Amino acid sequence: MDEETEDGLLGGAVRLRQPRRGFRAALDPVLLAAFVPARPGEAVLELGCGSGAAFLCLAARVPGLRVAAIEQDPALAALAQRNAALNGVAASVLAADLRGAPLPRVRHGLANPPYWPAGTASPDPARRQAAHEAAALADWTAALGRAVVPRGTASLVLPAARWGEAAALLRQSGFGALALLPVAPREGEPAKRVLLRGVKAGRGPDRVLPPLVLHAGTGWAPLAAAVLAGGAALPG
């Protein structure tokens, strides 16, 4: 237990135990959860859930979800299952590689894939595994395509440099009507990360949403504060 910390997300509404060292949850899973248009009682699947931050934030906002998650690291999968119990969330976390794991059929899928292709070294093995791909981004989108039912959604958080690649892969996996939400550090600055969502078998127009600005002055911008501290949903 001394190798873990307990942290609060959404203003303390979510309790998250996570490794003291290695890759730790920050903004991305919270923003991802806020971007998923789930409704009470629906089934959701998170791929690569880590310690469970994203699905816990989603469950805190939307009551009664049926949550499934997959995490390839058995220790992190077990930790995510413990975090679900700690927060009173009914979740089933499977320790498996998403490329061969059995996937439930769900209304919504979400993922925070490793940011960069394999090959860039990191001195910390946990950070290296979390930030660099074992499965390619195409494997993540293909898994979402297998799991999500028609008219359901798949949501991703990614570095801005990969949104075009991710959009093409979502289309190959059966998603359309894409919505892109740029996330900028400050007003007028380029986005460093994006949120991307597709609708399975969607035929509507693609949309670029107004950017989410994170910082204003010395604190959070109003919408960012509502999401990060208050558990609000992101528009769009």
How are the residues of the chain apportioned to helix, strand and coil, as percentages rounded to the nearest 5? Answer: 30, 35, 40
**pLDDT in the model for residue 118:** 54
- Residues 91, 81 contacting (CB under 8 angstroms): yes
Is the pLDDT assigned to residue 60 strictly greater than 70?
A: yes
What pLDDT was estimated at residue 221? 98
Global pTM reads: 0.91
Domains of the chain, earliest start first = 4-228 (3.40.50.150)
Question: E strand or H helix at 50, and its extent?
Answer: none
Residues 6+ positions from 164 with CB-CB distance below 8 Å: none
pLDDT tens-digit readout, 127-147: 444 444 457 999 999 999 999
